Amino acid sequence: MSSQLLIEERSATSAHPPAFTRKPKKARITPAGVGAVLVLALLAIAWLVPFVWAVITSLKTETDAGSTPVTLVPASGFTFDAYAKVLGEGNVLTWTFNSLFTSVMITLITVVTSALAAYAFSRLDFSGRRWLYAVVIGAIIIPPQVLIIPLFYEMLTLGLVDTYWGIILPQVIAPAMVFVLKKFFDQIPIELEEAARVDGASRLRVFLTIVLPLSRAVLAAVSIFVFIAAWNNFLWPFIVTNDTALMTLPVGLQTVKSAYGVQYAQSMALAILAALPLIIVFLIFQRQIIKGIATTGLGGQ
């Protein structure tokens, strides 16, 4: 009977809301806000113009792309000949699979190892913890190009040159991601973990069932950042692979060259094909990227 009265009381309250409700505040237009919008609009146009020009050039014939004066609309009309030649001369589907496979594997291994290392630095008290964390922070400022020669000799010694693992393993170490995840784990209330430990949960179970679910936003952001970096990486896959069947998309597309000098339409078609998967990823996960940047403080907070 009491539950029925409670339900009736809630329905009556929802049917007749209180008279005194707080009205939402209207957004105030300020000169600083207008200036910020204008600056962002100019930056967006500055980024968009080269991309649109690359798309238009890729849809021209080689004659129109190399003719002067430069025109926006080609005299011969738009065509997909450049894309047809690039796709016909190269093994693009194989290179796309290689890029997708290696990027996904790099992302999975990096996120797992970085999350475990960050949680250890955040919650565990072990000997040499501060010194080891200082090494991780110091590794952030080391340019990756410095490590190319020793990494190549290491892969050569292990027999991993011209293999998928030779592409993947040297790219799974991400000190910056360890730093970002540790900052986020430090903000999680430790009382939640202590309550689970009192109930008998192990450290690993606490990490899997409490810490990781609370870290979905930052994990998604880290995953996207690592995936984009792995997809765009040209130098290391270029050095460690010689077999065309194992090349990633950025490396493989550079092998599609014509013997007749610079082919502007084909070059732009190559650039568009290499950038298209990342544009699709960003359009699908843009909300997670923005939320992750705001959560982790990568936006300059």
Which pTM value belongs to this model? 0.76
**Has residue 86 got a pLDDT over 50?**
yes
Give residue 170's pLDDT. 92
What are the structure tokens assigned to 165, written together?
């693992």
Q: At what angle do helices 81-89 and 264-296 cross, to 10 degrees?
A: 80
Average pLDDT, the chain: 81
Per residue in 254-300, pLDDT (tens digit) is 776 654 556 778 888 888 888 888 888 778 877 766 766 666 555 44
Lowest mean pLDDT among 16-20, 168-172, 249-253: 16-20
Nearest CA to 224 out of 300, 145, 168, 277 is that of 277
Give residue 290's pLDDT. 72
Lowest mean pLDDT among 73-77, 118-122, 170-174: 73-77
Per residue in 119-163, pLDDT (tens digit) is 999 888 888 888 999 999 998 888 888 889 999 999 999 999 999
Domain boundaries, the chain: 44-296
Q: Is 201 helix (H, G, I), strand (E, B) or coil?
A: coil
Average pLDDT over residues 49-53: 87
User: The domain 44-296: what is its CATH number?
Assistant: 1.10.3720.10
Distance CA 274, CA 268 (A): 10
Model confidence at 26, pLDDT cuts 50, 70, 90, reads: low
Interior/surface letters 159-198, b for 16+ CB within 10 angstroms, e for the rest: ebbebeebbbbbbbbbbbbbbbbbbbbeebeeeebeebee
Rounded-to-5 percentages of helix, strand, coil across the chain: 75, 0, 25
* Contact between residue 164 and residue 240 where contact means Cβ atoms under 8 Å apart: no
Beta strands in 3-111 (DSSP E): none
**Has residue 4 got a pLDDT over 60?**
no
* Contact between residue 180 and residue 145 where contact means Cβ atoms under 8 Å apart: no
* Contact between residue 171 and residue 233 where contact means Cβ atoms under 8 Å apart: yes
Kindly report the length of the chain.
Answer: 301
Model confidence at 90, pLDDT cuts 50, 70, 90, reads: low
Per residue in 199-217, pLDDT (tens digit) is 888 888 888 888 888 888 8
Class of residue 242 by CB neighbours under 10 A (exposed 0-12, middle 13-18, buried 19+): exposed
What are the structure tokens assigned to 300, written together?
């300059």
Task: Give whole-number Cα distances, 98 to 115, 164, 244, 294, in Å.
Answer: 25, 8, 11, 32
Residue 92 half-sphere exposure toward CB, CA atoms < 13 A = 17
Q: Which residue has the higher pLDDT, 8 or 201?
A: 201
* Residue in the block written with tokens 């293999």: 163
